[in-house]
Amino acid sequence: MAIINTLEKCLDSPYLFKDDAAPAQIPGLLAKAADRLEAAANIQATGQGDPADVSFLSYEAMFSCLRALVYHKGYREAGLRCLMLACENLYVRPGQLDVAHLHAFERAQSLKVPPAESLATASAFVKRTLEILGQ
């Protein structure tokens, strides 16, 4: 299979497609992001639990935000690369989302980011997503 490196290639692939029902999934995605962020903050604040869970939960919160943003535009994804390309084309290039949020998400995938940094970047991403979506 060819390398998918543009939004157009994603739309021609099975990994990104129009779905008029996608926006209906946004409340659930935002609830999941809030839940994961709260759980990460609780672990960080109490010191109870595994610090690696802070990073993992923060990553999940950011992933839910990415999906919510793309779903808001009426698309669904079946591949992470196309999800990232869609978010870049639909929000970063028009100036609605700072590319730093996508870079933070990419770094968080490694689960090697310090827990406090993961939580801070996830908090900022969730906040910006809510602003964009008017929540």
Structural domain spans, the chain: 20-132
How high is the pLDDT of residue 5?
85
Q: Are 63 and 105 in contact (CB under 8 A)?
A: yes
Q: Which residues contact 118 (CB under 8 A, 6 or more apart)?
A: 40, 54, 55, 58, 59, 108
pLDDT means per 10 residues, the chain with 135 residues, are 78 94 98 98 93 95 98 96 95 97 94 93 98 93
How high is the pLDDT of residue 118?
96
Q: Which residues contact 39 (CB under 8 A, 6 or more apart)?
A: 53, 57
Q: Are 16 and 79 in contact (CB under 8 A)?
A: yes
Question: What is the CATH architecture assignment of 20-132?
Answer: Up-down Bundle (1.20)
How high is the pLDDT of residue 3?
62
Q: What is the pTM of this model?
A: 0.94
β-bridge mates for residue 16, sequence order = 77
